Amino acid sequence: MRLTYNSTLYKIRCVLRFLWARVYYRGRFRCPELSMIGSGCGIHIFEGGLIHCRGRIIVNDQVMLYAKGELRIGERFYTNRYTRIVAHERIEIGRNVTLGQMVTILDHDHDYVFEGPDMKLEGYRTAPVVIGNNIWMGDKCTILKGVTIGDNVVIGANTLVHKDVPSNSVIGGVPFKILKTLTPEPQKQ
């Protein structure tokens, strides 16, 4: 039997993976609403690590969520295939955030020293990452340690985010440039 993408059976399996992850990691994977985790996902929560979701999340196929530190995810979070989010210290993602395929979010760099001609890895250097509300990241974006991204930001495909991004911006490039400033419409009451 062929499993069709987004078929009812596919969705049931995604919900079962989510429920299994909650049971397996007990209190270290917190999510108050029924969510979906696609096939082939790696959810790794190490001792002292935590993944805390504030609402429903949809994690597509082949995504890696890795928490040695804290990974906090807001409501209405969606990530596409092959995305990787690695929290050694803390990554905080706001509400209404959508990630394209192959997005990488890291709160660390490798630390290294040279011993003679040889390079030796000596752990990590970390700095928290904060991603605001109403964010859309195109395919293959990379977010590096210590970055804060404001609210209402669109990040173009293949963008390297190595420093803070102001709210209400469209950015793109390597290194990124502000391509446009957005004017959000006032909320209707």
- Mean pLDDT, the chain, rounded, equals 93
Q: Using 50, 70 and 90 to split pLDDT, how confident is the model at 7?
A: confident
> Given 44, 52, 110, 162, which residue is catalytic?
110
Q: Where are the beta strands (DSSP E) in 35-115?
A: 36-37, 42-45, 50-53, 57-59, 64-67, 70-73, 77-79, 84-87, 90-93, 97-99, 104-106, 108-115
Question: What pTM was computed for the model?
Answer: 0.91
Instruction: Order across the sheet with 42-45: list the strands.
Output: 42-45, 64-67, 84-87, 104-106, 142-143, 160-161
Cβ-Cβ contacts under 8 Å for 147 (sequence gap 6 or more): 129, 130, 161, 162, 163, 164, 165
For residues 8-14, average pLDDT: 92
Whether the pLDDT of residue 3 is over 50: the answer is no
Rounded Cα gap, residues 83 and 41, in angstroms: 10
How high is the pLDDT of residue 147?
98
Q: 15-24: per-residue pLDDT in tens?
A: 999 999 999 9
Say whether pLDDT at 102 is over 80. Answer: yes
108 labelled catalytic: no
Q: Return the domain boundaries, the chain.
A: 29-138
pLDDT at position 5: 60
CA distance linking residue 104 with residue 15, whole number of Å: 24
